[in-house]
Amino acid sequence: MKDATNMNTFPQQGTPWEQIQKELHELKKLDVDWLNHPLPGYLYYFGEEILENQLEAHNLYSLENGLGAGVTFFSLEKMLKDIYDWAQDLYHGPETMGMTFTSGGTESLFEAIRTARNRARARGMEGRLNLIIPYTAHPAIDKAAQIMEIDIIRVPVDAEYRADVPAMAAAINDKTFFILGSAVCYPYGIYDPIEELGALALEHDIWLHVDGCWGGFINPFAKQLGYAVPKWDLEVPGVMSMSTDLHKFAFSTKGASLMLQRYQENKDTYETFSINDWPCGTYETPSFQGSSGAGSIASAWAMIKFLGNEGYLKTAKAAMDATVQLTDGVNAIEGLRDVRDGAPVEGNSMAVMSIDPEVDIMAVADLLDAGGWHCSRMREPLSIKHSVTPHHLSGVEKFLKDIAAAVEKVRREGLKGEYDERTY
Ligand SMILES: Cc1ncc(COP(=O)(O)O)c(C=O)c1O
């Protein structure tokens, strides 16, 4: 029965903080125990020191607002300038480079497409436009295309799961304003041929975006570690913009990504919102967001300073070592095979398929989940997908032991599982 407040469930009195703390700790027990069973993606952890420092920086700025950077919060403006300089170093950014600090990879991709779309319109492209991406590109691009009513053409990838550049070229028509490659793609951890895509973009005068949301804070360090990292960033002629997530392998708290573009001028002209037609005068924001978390800006700034090149060599090494060990480990288990089928590891991602009709890989995933892991299921090919983080290094042995035991049991008992669309 509702009382005069017309509320059913809204707390009427405050609750003592000690009780809330207890409840929060209880609630956390509902989640996958990621400390002992490293999760595919979702969170990025590499020890308590990094966690404490990223949180301290975040908390110090939890009340401030990115909207006021350079207006009231001059410290945020200074941090963003430093992040700009560091990104310019890391990604071969030209002097003309523009940068937008966004809430995540999804917003960075949205901003790239919006900027390119506005530029295309200004250059006279009319009617329903389209963009062309490899089949492996992230669904955030579909979201942006849906919002902006742009047609999206996903082109099948080649046998190595790389963007098929001739097929993408064949799909281009007079309404195409944007193409994309990933470095690396989320499903398979593979580099699309960015140099070839750059040449294609220049030939057709089309915007090329490189999605480095996953790879942005792995690729430059994997290269220093000796991995064969192809040219993939603003160094490549024809790349007009790229995205790199700070809240993944840069170890910022969540809500941090960068959209970098070759020309600040395009940012000023086609990305920045400047709205004047309301009572308060000009309201200007660099991107879609209004108020935004300053904690993630401070956290990103602090973590790049704290870890530096030396620190990121360690975190990238852990992620790449874990990927190599997991890949080699599953290839050594009878009936299992990593999705790249023996090709060298490129990025920190792997996926386990069954090559034995007696071993249902979804039944293996179900057993692993029951044992405390969370297995992402991939549909093409049917596999258990691991987006590998540095923390996985601590769980390699246990995972390989558990998956070997699960395979044994599935084979012995003829267990069957089902692909579950929702287990991203
Ligand atoms: C390649 C790639 N692009 C975009 C995204 C989306 O990033 P976010 O979840 O930060 O919006 C991801 C997330 O994993 C990704 O791996």
Q: Sketch the domain layout of the chain as residue ranges.
A: 56-304, 309-413
Residue 188 Cα, ligand 1 centroid: separation in angstroms? 13
What per-residue confidence (pLDDT) applies to 421?
A: 74
What's the chain look like in SS3?
CCCCCCCCCCCCCCCCHHHHHHHHHHHHCCCCCCCCCCCCCCCCCCCHHHHHHHHHHHHHCCCCEHHHECCCEHHHHHHHHHHHHHHHHHCCCCCCCEEEEECCHHHHHHHHHHHHHHHHHHCCCCCCCEEEEECCCCCHHHHHHHHCCCEEEEECCCCCCCCCHHHHHHHCCCCEEEEEEECCCCCCCCCCCHHHHHHHHHHHCCEEEEEECCCCCCHHHHHHCCCCCCCCCCCCCCEEEEEEECCCCCCCCCCCEEEEECCHHHHHHHHCEEECCCCCCCEEECCCCCCCECHHHHHHHHHHHHHHHHHHHHHHHHHHHHHHHHHHHHHCCCCEEECCCCCCCCCCEEEEEECCCCCCHHHHHHHHHHCCCCCEEECCCCEEEEECCHHHHHHHHHHHHHHHHHHHHHHHHCCCCCCCCCCC
CB neighbour list of residue 369: distance below 8 Å, 6 or more residues apart: 375
Q: Among 135, 186, 209, 232, which is best to mutate for testing ligand 1, by the most ligand atoms less than 8 A from CB?
A: 186
Decide: 219 and 232 in contact? Cβ < 8 Å.
yes
CA distances from 240 to 118, 130, 168, 226 (A): 14, 17, 18, 27
Whole-angstrom Cα distance, residue 121 to residue 270? 10
Whole-angstrom Cα distance, residue 342 to residue 57? 42
| Buried residues in 66-96 as b, exposed as e (16+ CB within 10 A) | bbebeeebebbeebbeebbebbbebbbbeee
Residue 104 Cα, ligand 1 centroid: separation in angstroms? 7
Residue 105 Cα, ligand 1 centroid: separation in angstroms? 5
Q: What is the dihedral sign for C-alpha 302, 113, 348, 253?
A: positive
CB neighbour list of residue 123: distance below 8 Å, 6 or more residues apart: none
| Buried residues in 161-197 as b, exposed as e (16+ CB within 10 A) | bbbbbeebbebbeeebbbbbbbbbbbbbbbbbbbbbb
For residue 403, what are its two tokens? Answer: 């998956």
Angle (deg, nearest 10), helices 361-370 and 396-413: 120
CB neighbour list of residue 341: distance below 8 Å, 6 or more residues apart: none
Residue type, 121: R
The CATH architecture annotation of domain 56-304 reads 3-Layer(aba) Sandwich (3.40)
Going by alpha carbons, the residue nearest to atom 5 of ligand 1 is 105
Q: Among 101, 106, 217, 253, which is best to mutate for testing ligand 1, by the most ligand atoms less than 8 A from CB?
A: 106
Residues having CB closer than 6 A to ligand 1 are 41, 104-106, 138, 140, 182, 186, 211, 213-214, 245, 257
| Backbone φ and ψ of 156, nearest 5° | -55, 145
Residue type, 60: L
Q: Residue 254 CA: which ligand 1 atom is closest?
A: 10
What per-residue confidence (pLDDT) applies to 420?
A: 82
pLDDT < 70 regions, the chain? 1-2, 422-424
What per-residue confidence (pLDDT) applies to 424?
A: 63
Going by alpha carbons, the residue nearest to atom 7 of ligand 1 is 105
309-413 CATH: 3.90.1150.10
Residue type, 212: G
Whole-angstrom Cα distance, residue 197 to residue 19? 56
Residue 258 Cα, ligand 1 centroid: separation in angstroms? 12
Residue 249 Cα, ligand 1 centroid: separation in angstroms? 12
